[in-house]
Chains A and B, each alone.
Chain A
Amino acid sequence: MRLTLCYLYASGMNIYGDRGNVLTLIQRCRWRGIDVQLIERGVGEHSPLHDVDLFIAGGGQDRDQIAVSRDLQDGTGAALIEAVENGAVLLAICGTYQLLGQYFRTSGGEVLPGIGMFDAWTVAGPRRFIGDVIVRARLEDREVELVGFENHSGQTFLGPGTRPLGQVLIGAGNNGTDGCEGAVYRNAFGSYLHGPLLPKNPDFADYLLRLALRHRYRDDVPLAPLDDRIELAARAAMIARIRQRGRVRSGVRA
């Protein structure tokens, strides 16, 4: 078996450890004997995307986000939409997630256009949401708790065409008001969760891999079970820690 993964904007949108999502998907394939071809596509690059089963992108700084916004408008966004319409899988965290909606209005009032894959829009808020997050999400027929860390001032709101990834149990999520976290359209997932998201949530990682295999082979392919004791122990410890101490007020900034 084989899968093609595409790490989008690796050199700029990578500041919160989101490359851990890529490492996790690659290792979980290797441990199962699934061949992985990893391609990267940065700003201004034109690596072909038609063979990609699973796209991954992370969060970055404002300057990089502006460059990514331009690149998405310049053909990459259209290619991503086409791939997702054909069943490809996509996981976009934080800064890239914001640009998959209709627009992002920055604190300076500038409007960065998005690609409208999600029926969503983002506006810079007056305060930054920083802290641990627990989300209850439904993955097909199963309900799971996802654990992560958010650090964003953009507030994202979903329109009727897009459903949230889950409901926040602890933390702010998309906007701190409606209890929603993330966005789902077909097999495309947006989320504010760093941590990174996939290492401590291996069931979500495997869900993405199952969808990617379905995209590649146009059929359900059974995924061999792995020994996830280390991952699940880390997740359980973190959920217990968050529940015990509550959300720590961080964000002591100059």
Chain B
Amino acid sequence: MTAEAHRDHTWPGQPPTNIDPRLGLAIAAGHLAGRLSRGLGRGGGTVLPGLVALRLDPGILAKLVRGLAEGVILVSGTNGKTTTSRALSSILRAAGRTTIHNRAGANLESGLVTALIDHTSPGGRTRGDIALFEVDEAILPRVTPVVQPRVIALTNLFRDQLDRYGEVDFVAGCWRATLADLSPTTTVVLNADDPAVAALGAQCRARVLYYGIEVPGQASRPGPIADSRLCPQCGRPLIYREVHYAHLGRYHCPGGDFSRPALTVAATAITLAGAEGSEIEVSGPFGTQHISLRLPGLYNVYNALAAITCALALDIPAAAIRDGLTAITAAFGRLERISVGDRTLFITLIKNPVGFTEVLRTILAGPSLRHLIVAINDNLADGTDVSWLWDAEVEALADRCASVIASGTRAGDMAVRLKYAGVPTERIHVEPEIERALDLGLTSLPPGETLYILPTYTAMLALRTIVARRGYSVPYWET
């Protein structure tokens, strides 16, 4: 992608030239669908315009990204897609770039196309310097050859919705094939601390940049549900010097076949401040930067590192990286704080065992007992199999909660999980209906306290609708 070639075509400077009629129709229909969907108040219209436009012109994605001077960035992986791309978006804003971004997290083709046509004139000109897309890990192999990304970042690979994505070795195989086909003009950004992700860099023709954490780990052995314990070359169990969480850490193969790659960007000091955020020191080609991150938890340190490394691949100056990261707040539903009178709601998406475990570790920092709602739905977007609740380390809650309400379509399963984790049964309440669970949680919450709400994806959407209807916060598509 040559940058300057498209610079002089910025909409709305010039009249449309030889517009592809099929594309024109798809854009017009997409715009109309967007206005209707928003006008009717039916959700955020983050998917429907793209669905309509794709139906009319299946080739629309490739056509619309062609006009972007600085190309396309793709962010994928099991956890951290939304937060990483939000952090990068903030950096790009600080660097003065106009970015097209599927920031509400609609990460299938329809969401990507919707974001693009929102910034496209009826004449087919897309206004923006660069597109930043978080992409569902299962559709990454399909989207990558279509958009020919300039940068592609992979955050981590954990077991997630096995009924939908398949087992982790299957997903890794799909990614490996995708990266093998990339041209040398693409930069691949990989988490060096995840052996399954780091191994993907070996056979890549593209330029590869690795990021990771260079501080003492929390453990020296991977956790009970570590997915990538074996050397990807020879299959022998990897030896870890440090484990940060799950199978992320500093490792090497006992046979010398594989080890954690050298880091381009490294976190060299980390001070976690519970749910408030973290202070981190990051070293790279830009020297050493101190950053106050308003995103809590070690997993968000990884997300920040991924965003920094992408920014580096785009030659963004260090000052913009620091300013952009300092300005970010949590992504939609990812550790979001909402005031309700003198009480606070703290909403955190959970969707797989590693995410659930790390969210618990983060919100349980500090001595006081917590009030919680855990809302587990089993719709297609959540995963229809809730077995994963048993792979999360829910035992951390055993003596740490004042009360916990199990909610969602699988409230019963969550209650059983809490009981076997050692939470006293008199502290476990079952209320499948999410709005009633919220009321129950708020009425039993002492003034000044925080109600921690951990929903799966569709439970979070339901919760956001309730919260917006009650005027607790603005709808996510307006933020």
> A residues within 8 Å of B by Cβ?
10-12, 14-20, 23-24, 27, 61-63, 67, 130-132, 149, 151, 194-196, 199-200, 227, 230-231, 233-238, 241, 248, 250-254
Contacts and interface: CB of A to CB of B under 8 A. Distances in A.
A253 B162 contact: no
28 contacts: A14-B225, A15-B391, A16-B387, A17-B387, A17-B388, A17-B389, A17-B391, A19-B390, A23-B390, A23-B420, A61-B168, A131-B384, A149-B384, A151-B162, A151-B385, A199-B413, A199-B416, A200-B416, A230-B430, A231-B416, A234-B413, A234-B416, A238-B413, A250-B383, A252-B380, A253-B166, A253-B170, A254-B139
B138 interface: yes
Nearest to A14: B225
B420 A24 contact: yes
A132 B162 CA distance: 13
B227 interface: yes
A19 B224 contact: yes
Contacts of B399: none
Contacts of B428: 230
B420 A253 contact: no
B230 A63 contact: yes
Contacts, number: 127
A15 B162 contact: yes
A70 B33 CA distance: 57
B226 interface: yes
Contact of A196 (B170, B387, B419): B387
Interface string B184-219: 000000000000000000000000000000000000
Nearest to A44: B237
B174 interface: yes
A149 B387 contact: yes
A199 B159 CA distance: 21
Nearest to B390: A20
B389 A132 contact: no
List the 8 shortest-distance A-B pairs measured between CB atoms, nearest first.
Answer: A234-B412, A17-B387, A20-B390, A17-B390, A254-B138, A237-B412, A250-B163, A61-B167
A22 B252 CA distance: 31
Interface in B356-388: 380, 383-388
With most chain A CB atoms within 10 A of its CB, the pick from B384, B390, B417 is B390
A69 to B, nearest CB: 14
Contacts of A235: 412
B380 A195 contact: no
Nearest to B163: A250
Contacts of A252: 138, 164, 380
Contact of B159 (A15, A233, A250, A253): A15
B425 A230 contact: yes
A234 to B, nearest CB: 3
A134 to B, nearest CB: 15
A130 B163 contact: yes
A15 B227 contact: yes
B227 to A, nearest CB: 7
Interface residues of B, number: 48
Contacts of B169: 61-63
Interface of B: 138-139, 141-142, 159, 162-171, 174, 224-227, 229-230, 235, 380, 383-391, 409-413, 415-417, 419-420, 422, 425, 428, 430, 432
Nearest to B409: A241
Nearest to A64: B230
Given A15-B167, A235-B412, 4 more contacts: A200-B412, A233-B412, A251-B164, A254-B138
Contacts of A195: 386-387
A27 B395 CA distance: 12
Contacts of B415: 230, 233-234
A253 B385 CA distance: 15
A35 to B, nearest CB: 17
Contacts of A200: 412-413, 416
Contacts of A194: 385, 387
Contacts of A15: 159, 162, 167-168, 225, 227, 391
Given A250-B380, A251-B163, A19 B413 contact: no
A196 B392 CA distance: 13
Contacts of B384: 131-132, 149, 248, 250
A248 B385 contact: no
Contacts of A237: 411-412, 432
B115 to A, nearest CB: 22
B219 to A, nearest CB: 14
A238 B139 CA distance: 31
B162 A16 contact: yes
A194 B384 CA distance: 12
Nearest to A195: B387
B344 to A, nearest CB: 29
Contact of B226 (A11, A18, A149, A230): A11
Nearest to A251: B163
B319 to A, nearest CB: 40
B413 A254 contact: no
Nearest to B169: A61
Contacts of A130: 163, 385
A11 B237 CA distance: 10
B390 A199 contact: yes
Contacts of B432: 237
Nearest to A254: B138
B408 to A, nearest CB: 11
A17 B386 CA distance: 9
Nearest to A60: B167
Nearest to A238: B412
Contacts of A67: 235
